[in-house]
Amino acid sequence: MACCPGRLPQDEQEVHASTSINRILVSERAKARIPQCLLLGTGESGKSTIFKQMRMLHGAGYSEAQLTEARVMIRAAIRKDVAALAEAARSRRILDQVGVDNAAYPSNVQAAIDTIAASADDVPLEQLVDQIELMWADPTVRKVYDLRHLYQLSDGAHYFLDKIGIAAKGDWVPNTEDLIRTRVRTNGAVDQVLNFRNNEQLRMVDVGGQRSERRKW
């Protein structure tokens, strides 16, 4: 009676390896066929905001773990804006534009502004909440804010100053709106495959607006 030799374990390993390689090749070919959209523009022109919005609408979105991880980055951006506003509120050049001098501030507001301006960058927001809220509620500071084109302040500053009491809490978890409102410089290139109706896909690529970052692309 004839016997058929069984498949050797080595043959099975080779078949498995070959199958895995074929899957990878098919996946890479599929990726290569996906049209790409490169976001171009100068620094702070809104490319990353569009990228984040499209990722949430048609891409992988952001998990709670990713949002929690982004908390440090968001607070650093808030801290930078708060310091910039405090410095502008003490600037003779800005106050001349407003049409007032330092005497326009009540003593408690002036003290709050001075405390914020003198604070080191590593001072937690939670320790400055009272001073920030006091500064932000002052009418003259609001006029200083309206002149933000004369100094460096992000587009999301108003949004976060309005909710500073929440954003400064130790257990605060940002939401997707908070992430969109945060301006963070893009380093290198990031990409995301977007999925649309009829199984159509698009690979969106965001690169930094600075010339050095564009060279990387």
Residues in the annotated binding site: 44-49, 186, 206-210
Q: Which long-range contacts (CB under 8 A, 24 or more apart) does 57-64 make?
A: 58/194, 58/195, 58/196, 59/192, 59/193, 59/194, 59/195, 59/204, 60/192, 61/176, 62/176, 62/179, 64/173
CA pair distance 82, 76, nearest whole angstrom: 10
Say whether 45 sits in a helix, a strand or coil.
coil
Provide the residue type at 194 as one letter. Answer: L
Q: Which residue has the tokens 């490319």?
A: 47
DSSP conformation class of 36: E
Residues belonging to the binding site for GTP are 44-49, 206-210
Tell me the Cα Rg of the chain: 26
CB–CB of 113/135 below 8 Å? yes
Residues belonging to the binding site for Mg(2+) are 48, 186
CA pair distance 81, 171, nearest whole angstrom: 21
